[in-house]
Amino acid sequence: DSQEHVDAPKCHPNTRKAVLEQIKNWIILTVTRAQWILWLNGAAGAGKSAIARSIVELCIERNIPIARFFFFRTDSTRNNIKPLVATLIHQLIQSMPDMEPIIIPRIKSDPLIFTKSLKTQFEFLIFGPLHKLKRSFIHLNTLVFLFDGVDECDDEDDQASIIRIVADFVKSNSFPVLAFFGSRTEPQISTVFRSAALSDITRTLALDDKYLPDDDIRVFLNDSFDEIKRTHPFARLLDTNWPTTSEVGEIVEKSSGQFIYASVVIKF
């Protein structure tokens, strides 16, 4: 819910229904679970972040505790790991108030904790408190960690570290946790997910032609052009059949499955 304009888009209504349904079913799965990590991957502009924001919204609506971080390459406050753990802690305390009396004393006991390694921060301020919370309560909702744009973190080693650190905790069964990662298929990231340690507990969803992106892009374009015709101050100058079906089809074809192309056309 950032005030930054780049953070506004979620999935356009009636688009991405298939992939959103798969992710939703994975989160709320009630039978025995084998895959505790989900990796959503796709090319730049495929709509990964919009899907991730829609999933955050879904979790909030269903009172599923979720801590998330959206990396963004051109934002100096979000293209590195420095604010990661503090941001997650803030959200954990908001969605799980019983965490506050566990976490805050730990921060006070070590005021320099946020200057230490990422692994130390996670273990001391997130994993340790979650494990302690589990011992106090019998019934706990599954917690979701969501990391979008992992490939937009400026250090490739940090990208891999984030995945490994969180995956190790997920595999420990110290707390019921699901981990959602969104990124491009960069080599340093693909290598981690293909490793023996993660491959058996990871579900991979690729934003490819299987999810019929052309159909979703066409819905987005038609709805957007209808809105332009209703609201644009010069709409009266438009032909009633603007744009033609073939013109919309041309934009769909040039989009090549990437929502960002269609979005730029509409903004123009």
123-155 pLDDT, tens digit each: 999 999 999 998 877 667 899 999 999 999 999
**pLDDT-derived band at 44, boundaries 50, 70, 90:** confident
Q: Which residue matches tokens 């969501």?
A: 146
Under a CB-based contact definition with an 8 Å cutoff, are residues 84 and 50 in contact? no
**pLDDT-derived band at 17, boundaries 50, 70, 90:** confident
205 - beta bridge partners?
A: 40
Residue 100: Cβ-neighbour burial (10 angstroms; 0-12, 13-18, 19+): middle
Angstrom CA distances, 21 to 25, 29, 49, stand at: 6, 12, 16
Find the angle CA(64)-CA(66)-CA(69) to the nearest 5 degrees: 160
CATH 3.40.50.300 residue window(s) in the chain: 17-208
Q: What 3 state SS string does 119-182 have?
A: HHHHHHHHHHHHHHHHHHCCCCCCEEEEEECHHHCCCHHHHHHHHHHHHHHHHHCCCCEEEEEE
Q: Above pLDDT 70, what percent of the chain? A: 94
pLDDT at 7 over 60: no
CATH 3.40.980.10 fits domain 17-208:
no
Taking the C-alpha atoms of residue 191 and residue 88, their distance in angstroms, rounded to an integer, is: 25
Closest CA to 65 of 43, 89, 93, 95: 95
pLDDT at 125: 98
pTM given for the model: 0.84
**pLDDT-derived band at 262, boundaries 50, 70, 90:** very high
Helix (H, G, I), strand (E, B) or coil at 266: helix
Please list, in sequence order, all residues whose beta carbon lies within 8 angstroms of the beta carbon of residue 242, skipping any fewer than 6 positions away: 225, 229
pLDDT at 45 over 90: no
Taking the C-alpha atoms of residue 191 and residue 163, their distance in angstroms, rounded to an integer, is: 11
- The per-residue pLDDT for range 77-116, each reduced to its tens digit, is 999 999 999 999 999 999 999 999 999 999 999 999 999 9
Alpha helices in the chain, H assignment, sequence order: 17-27, 48-61, 84-95, 100-109, 118-122, 128-136, 156-172, 187-194, 196-199, 213-231, 245-255, 259-267
